[in-house]
Structure 1
Amino acid sequence: MKRLFLILLVVGSLGWGPALAEEEKPRWPGVDETVVEKYAKDLGREARDPYINTDQGDLLLFLFALAGGIGGFIMGYYWHKVFVAGKQDPGKPE
């Protein structure tokens, strides 16, 4: 029983070390901030909100799932042409 408690204590404490030791790190500026915004300000254009803001909720996840579904449907529709029809021997009857 003591051995089980000790194992659970050790395994449970492994996750706390990095969480407690993590400190606020300085944020690295990306390409948008360092290059695009610099040239936009030089040319007299200010930043604006995007037409489709994917930072709200699960919109980005939904768009990726929708694109995967559409791509899967297209690949499933053409599966026979891509992987089966081209591999058959033309002289061999089906």
Structure 2
Amino acid sequence: MKKILAALIFFSAVLISTPATAEEEEPRWAGVDETVVEKFARDLGREPRDPLFDTDQGDLLLFFFTLAGATGGFIMGYYWHKVFVAGKQEQPPRT
């Protein structure tokens, strides 16, 4: 029974992980930027342009998230004592 279950799991994983061919690929859904923002920009006489930081290339978006997390963590760590400890009145021990 365990061998049959293992075989079913293996074959289902193989079937699920097969890449789709180019003929089956459907066109991308248009996002808000393409449908709304670009429409209003064209109506106002401005053509769309490439973004200042193209985060679709490589791991640039991951780098920005890591940098923001490290910066926020450093700031929170620096002010931890001031925010959570200092200024709190000490409570007498419960008996």
**TM-score, normalised on structure 1?**
0.75
Distance 1:85 1:13, change over 3 A: same
Runs (5+) with no aligned partner, structure 2: none
Q: Distance in 2 between matches of 1:62 and 1:51?
A: 16
Runs (5+) with no aligned partner, structure 1: none
Amino acid at match of 2:59: D
Q: Distance in 1 between matches of 2:27 and 2:57?
A: 24
Tell me the number of residue pairs that the alignment of Structure 1 and Structure 2 aligns: 89
Q: Bigger shift: 59-68 or 39-48?
A: 39-48
Listed as ranges, the matches of 1:3-82 within 5 Å are 3-19=1-17, 24-82=25-83
Cα deviation for residue 88 of structure 1 reads: 3.0
Root mean square deviation, CA, Å: 2.5
Q: Percent same amino acid at aligned positions? A: 61
Q: Deviations over 1:51-76 (max 9, x none)?
A: 11111100000010011001001101
Normalized per residue, the structure richer in helix is 1
